[in-house]
Amino acid sequence: MVSWQKALAYALQTILVIESLQEEDRRDLCPK
């Protein structure tokens, strides 16, 4: 049984990873 604190921490970590990947994709699409 996973506690809600662990579930929340995992969700927040996943969101941060997805956001970082999206930022990298935007940099690739718009080279300076």
SS3 state at 3: coil
Position 25 scores a pLDDT of 77
1-32 confidence digits (pLDDT tens): 789 999 999 999 999 999 999 888 777 766 66
State the Cα–Cα distance between residues 18 and 11, nearest whole angstrom.
Answer: 11
Is this prediction's pTM over 0.85?
Answer: no
- The pLDDT value given to residue 16: 96
Amino acid residing at 6: K
24-28 long-range contacts, CB within 8 A, separation 24+: none
13's tokens: 């970590």
